[in-house]
Chain A
């Protein structure tokens, strides 16, 4: 009997094994052993041998229980920035005992090459030609650049037969060029990926669970020289690449357009390749735009479009001052740099091919122009950074689509396997960020003329304005859009059974819990500076008087947050989503939040940043009721670390942001306008307008029709267009089908076309309505909801 990680976490007698794997460190394995293990030949450095390797005493050559005794791998988690952006990188430190000089023998990063590649080697080829392969042994591993290659056999002195998989020992298969050097040992260690896994001591090899991927930053040796001590950073390092890495698409004007008006001729310097200018056109054939071939940016900052380029490098400046940039004279000698714009009403440089069967060529298939913030980030992430990465149009997830269409050199080359696609695009309820933000468009986004760190680029353009952040826990780039926990959310419980204790005296303990008010993010207003013109809009929390605004000192004393949003123009693009983001941000930070730092048992290992947890601690002051009773108070997880120590064994440390006991956030209740109705006895089947109060393309758990907002069992009333009740009577919803809602009466004859169906008063509604949906409080007496005595809701979100 073996136990999975989840089963072990729930056991009282749990015992864990830590496993470290380093990219490029491992051994040649036979095909049978490859499939019996995890298939890539990497050495597994164990804290002790798990039971699953006992059938082969001592295990395979890759099974090495060399992690230093008493020093479990130490993890420093990423810290998410709740205001939006990239978090601080996480770290992993671990020590490996150099038993029998195992590492010293294997990690000869300064060794001499053993052969020279004779001809290019593609990323999939299994025959490698070298000038002299005498030093390449059969059934060995050799290295070219970052890739490890598994040598099966040799066919003469110059032809080497490679085994599968290419990209051995966890490396990435790459194309190699004629003349590249071949090594017998790993040529470099820095920036190699490191994976930390855990497995129950009595688990199976398939029960290994990854706790995170990192990249090696530095190595040092212990004073007694017996151990190699590694320090690695989280894989967010990948996201700190330059974007674009090398913007080299520049044209120099040799004959300026005669006037600043549209459609003026221009001639560029020919350069070495007279066809270069025509190659700047990314979208050709069926996907081409006949009027605007591509965008150029002048030294002044003005963006223009160009069309009808010829091999003589003559063409036309078709549009001037694109996306609100200021028109300035174009002069001879000006270097015009190609840029990529999200102008969906124009040619739009940013296009993705939807999932299912994404197109593999820019000249055909389905390509969708996009200005959605999630798409824009994915397009830059997944497009090729360099010809050698070979990711151009070959770095897609077939289910979620192709986002690899920017020209080579304009992406950061993040392999699609390192993207948590579900978090970005998934349609699961309230999970995928794109479905939750359908209207978050940045059509004035301009990209590509200046290299900028990718993290900084997306932080300034998207993450900070929206308040989203990226994390890479588990080794995948994942986006999180913080949300206010709803009253009815189903969440993980953290209470006396989960929170660990520490001994402070004889039979006296305290919870391993630290709680404090966090005032670092307090703000009273958000000021957006829109477009290249930086026109401001300001959203102040006093604008929300009566809901959550006006909280004494906090509304006026806190500094405003000022955020530039170059990708959205005032008066041209939709800015409602920014106001919504600001409102949500203000609700979260117009008063101090509560920060919790808590150690919990290993059963919570799946809890991840951005998850919502419910905290129950009876001694925590409830700032709403004036009592000490945090009972299922919702909090958002910002950070999670799986820790190992001698006192607590394996456990989980969580840092979470809570809003105190008074938070009560619900959904907005539905409405529907009657178009017509039919009778069947007492029942009335109402045909209602499909989308008067909803959007047909709504996603992420939002109803896509007005009728779908209702549920069988809801208690409803009817109002006329002036807002007056047609009758005091309530009816119950008995069936819903497409745009038809069936109710069990006609409001005492008050039902008519154009009547609007709304939910009944709180006291008349069903529990399914009152538990999760916002009801208004009255202004009289104790400000509760009607005569219910129930505290009012603080906030409602769609």
Chain B
């Protein structure tokens, strides 16, 4: 499989409230409580993804998708000492970093005034006062098997209908509707750290497949499948919803310490890379 890019899955974040507060200190000055989002309100039924792909916060055909990094950037730029903020996700470490045009900044995630959940962006605690503040963990919802798909049915058209045949061989076929395409993907021999919550590695807390499955995919939310994890900030994904709720995780028959993951999905939308 040399040369085949690694896939990744990104499950959305849902917010319970429509607005939050983030306390930020810049250049050692007085901390300021910033509104998240900077303008407008969040939607409690919309899917938010930490990608850096700059998708606007608006409804689309698949129940909304908005880039959390863009929203965080806009919030930081409301600080009185910040003109430009940069929020990125690394294509190598997949950790979120924040810089601004100020000298240093400190995001006070653990301050009582902060209501925005640090885990969404992968932070463990309030950051140090630094020119670049980088999260300790992957952002919420990101699952990186760090391997390509082992088996892929590709998107396939199911039929909603039936066929009946007479004794003489005449037939009639019914077709009730054009259903969304279905796809089944398998990742074979995945490490236990990337499969089960029990073994989650540092920097991948809440990023095992079991966590993403039980908190997002398994409760029916739509999710993105990236053909190449390196395109996470430049789109290039398909949106799916789960096609079944059977446990997708099973122990590998080949390597007893590894795990096989098989995920049946219903295709919702494809967004090309830009």
Contacts and interface: CB of A to CB of B under 8 A. Distances in A.
B257 to A, nearest CB: 32
Given A13-B220, A507-B159, A1 B176 contact: no
Contacts of B221: 12-13
Interface in A1-51: 1, 7, 11-15
A510 B219 contact: no
Contact of A618 (B18, B63, B162, B176): B176
A102 interface: no
B17 A619 contact: no
A618 B177 CA distance: 8
Contacts of A510: 160-162, 176
A504 interface: yes
Interface string B1-30: 000000000000001111000000000000
B220 A509 contact: no
B93 interface: no
B222 A511 contact: no
Given A12-B241, A618-B177, A507 B158 contact: yes
Contacts of B159: 507-509
Contact of B63 (A12, A15, A507, A511): A12
Contacts of B174: 619
B45 interface: yes
Contacts of A618: 175-177
B16 A12 contact: no
A287 to B, nearest CB: 59
A669 interface: no
Contacts of B156: 507
B44 interface: yes
A617 interface: yes
Contacts of A15: 219
B176 A496 contact: yes
Nearest to A15: B219
B53 to A, nearest CB: 22
A540 to B, nearest CB: 39
**Chain A interface residue count: which class?**
10 to 19
Contacts of A619: 161, 174-176
Contacts of B157: 507
Interface string B27-65: 000000000000000001100000000000000000100
Nearest to A646: B245
A521 interface: no
A676 interface: no
A1 B161 contact: no
Report which residue of B63, B162, B175, B176 has the largest number of chain A beta carbons within 10 angstroms of its beta carbon: B176
B182 A507 contact: yes
A771 B182 CA distance: 41
Given A13-B220, A501-B160, A504-B162, A509 B15 contact: no
A565 to B, nearest CB: 46
B161 A11 contact: no
B253 interface: no
Nearest to A619: B174
A141 to B, nearest CB: 37
Provide the main secondary structure of the chain B interface.
loop
A617 B177 CA distance: 9
Given A11-B45, A12-B222, A618-B177, A509 B158 contact: yes
Interface in B86-135: none
A15 B220 CA distance: 9
Contacts of A617: 176
Nearest to B178: A496
A716 B14 CA distance: 57
B273 interface: no
A13 B219 contact: yes
A13 B223 CA distance: 12
Interface string B161-185: 1100000000000111101001000
Interface string B134-163: 000000000000000000000011111110
A13 B221 CA distance: 6
A27 to B, nearest CB: 31
Contacts of B63: 12
A618 B63 CA distance: 27
Nearest to A51: B16
B179 A501 contact: yes
Nearest to B156: A507
Contacts of A7: 45
B16 A1 contact: yes
Interface in B166-223: 174-177, 179, 182, 219-222
Interface in A492-517: 496, 501, 504, 507-511
B160 A509 contact: yes
Interface string A278-309: 00000000000000000000000000000000
Nearest to B15: A1
A12 B174 CA distance: 28
A1 B158 contact: no
A12 B219 CA distance: 9
Nearest to A513: B176
Contacts of A14: 220
Contacts of B160: 496, 501, 508-511
A501 B266 CA distance: 14
A430 B188 CA distance: 61
Contacts of B16: 1
Interface in A201-216: none
Contacts of B161: 508, 510, 619
A11 B45 CA distance: 8
A596 to B, nearest CB: 14
Contacts of B17: 1
Nearest to A506: B158
A513 to B, nearest CB: 9
B44 A508 contact: no
B158 A508 contact: yes
Contacts of A507: 156-159, 182
A7 to B, nearest CB: 8
Interface string A354-393: 0000000000000000000000000000000000000000
A332 to B, nearest CB: 77
A504 B18 CA distance: 43
A55 to B, nearest CB: 14
Given A1-B44, A619-B161, A511 B176 contact: yes
Interface in A180-210: none
Nearest to B221: A13
Interface in A31-80: none
Give 5 nearest A-B pairs by CB, closest first: A496-B177, A13-B220, A507-B158, A1-B16, A619-B174
11 contacts: A1-B15, A12-B63, A12-B222, A15-B219, A496-B177, A508-B160, A508-B161, A510-B176, A618-B176, A618-B177, A619-B161
Interface of A: 1, 7, 11-15, 496, 501, 504, 507-511, 617-619
Given A507-B159, A510-B176, 17 more contacts: A1-B16, A11-B45, A13-B219, A13-B220, A15-B219, A496-B160, A496-B176, A501-B179, A507-B158, A508-B158, A508-B159, A508-B161, A509-B159, A509-B179, A510-B161, A511-B176, A617-B176
